[in-house]
Structure 1
Amino acid sequence: MNVGTTPTFVTRAREEVLDATIASVTARKNVTGWKVMNEPSLSDYRIIEFIITGELTSSLPSRNPRKTSWSVYKVHLKDNLEQIEYDGAKHPHYDLKQNVEQISTAIIEAFHSSSRLSKVRASKEARRLNENLSTLIVEVHRLFNKAKRDDHFYPNSSQITKSHGKGGKQSYFVPQKARYVIHGGRRGSVLLLKTHFQGSEPIMNADIATQTKNPRKEDWDIVKKILTRQRLEWAINTFRPHKSPGVDGIFPVLLQKGMEEIIPHLLNSIKSSLALGQIPKI
């Protein structure tokens, strides 16, 4: 998506094109006006703006985990998980991917059975900036424009960034002339790889074979020492309950509320993953 020669990352010492906007062929047709903005971003990374065109459609109904009946969820979860057979310890070459998919399906089905579908209502009004932040934005633009006119860093601009910016140590800069040109297609991809992953080479049409490890008794013993129920429970409880789910659609709160039912299955799957040397795709 990147066009032009404007750097996306600028500091007092250097400027580079660190950021690349990647889109599919279908999405690329709907994106126009990609450009790097000149206004201050309160960081070393420049603001990138682009326009996405398309038809507006009504939002699809979804389930809110905050409105889940957890008592019903636990009952369905327990019934679903009881139908899963685990034989990884007896049969080292059992289908780990299938086992993980069964656990994920059990959790999702229990969630759907205990939570109703509802339409997401979009807010009619956008959030407004408070008076203090609005004043700071105006002041930042004033200092930034002054720095461009004077061709040097304005000392007071860094004070605003330190007290209100994200990170606390950024300072404003004068945009310098770009030294890098972005290329598209395969040439651009190779350039990004060589710039940020020095020494790497692209592998075209590589046939990478996956080998299944035959774990020994010592492997299982090490895994049991590394992974315990207490450590797994601690890790799950560190998640923010309603954090956005991954590709599997599982919210952290679904693991936390069904801890007693899920933990034994997760322990078996993770131990098998470590002993077999496999990471199942979900």
Structure 2
Amino acid sequence: MLSYRHGFHAGNYADVLKHAILLQTIELIQKKDKPFVYIDTHAGAGGYCLDDEFAQKTAEFKDGIGRLWGRQDLPASLVHYLECVAHFNEGNGGAAEALAWYPGSPALVDMQLRDKDRMVLHELHGTDHQLLAEYFEGERQTKVVRGDGLKGLLAAVPPLERRGLVLIDPSYEIKSDYRDVAEAIIKAQRKFATGVYLLWYPVVNRAQTESMLSLLKESGIRRQLRIEQAIKPDSDEFGMTAAGLWVINPPWQLDEIATEMLQSLSALLGQPGGQVTVKWEVGE
């Protein structure tokens, strides 16, 4: 597990979907004036240089954020996402119109926080934890924890604010990750039923992914929404064919926003045979 480095994949099509939906979820949560906490179980390094060896080795960002960059015909949800990426580039000494840096989830959320909100970030990888801690050094609203994020999640809920957004974004390098993630979410939801949970998932082996999601569907938890983009048909060949977000207790209108967003992403990022899905898997 500790070998995984997100820098290889920063800004790919899965990141585009994950981060654009994350930003919209926060925007909807913040329509209420009350404070909330953001909990990230696998926070990564905070931000990534797209010119370094990790990003250039795979160049996955070219078929992700690269295909959206500079476009003027996108829905408001994706415009906001691109504005945040541009702001991150400016913050790292680049020009807003350049694409040299890509923000991780913590950096994107940090741009949205009000004075009353806070973050709890977990990262187990030693190097990434150090980079993350340096990025947020001195930030009173942010707590950076080195450790197992799933265990950290159970310790962090229920939060004092009684309002929270949890992002679970593991590497899935180990097969047991799929079951461990589902079980941790079920336990956390029992402690903090009003929280919003965003589970990012890849589709490399469809049966393996659906087995994890079935555990959640059959858990008795209500209001579970699937938001998924398959850039090409499922295959037995190596590689990710789709990625999605499984959202428990999504804020009102997120499904509508996601539907509009995915229509644009399908045209820009998809390949022949790809499809998008926004579906309530468990209702009220």
Whether the TM-score (by the shorter chain) exceeds 0.5 is no
The alignment's TM-score, normalised by the length of structure 2, stands at 0.18
Relative to its length, the structure with more strand (as a share) is: 2
Please tell me whether Structure 1 or Structure 2 has the larger radius of gyration of its CA atoms: 1
The alignment's TM-score, normalised by the length of structure 1, stands at 0.18
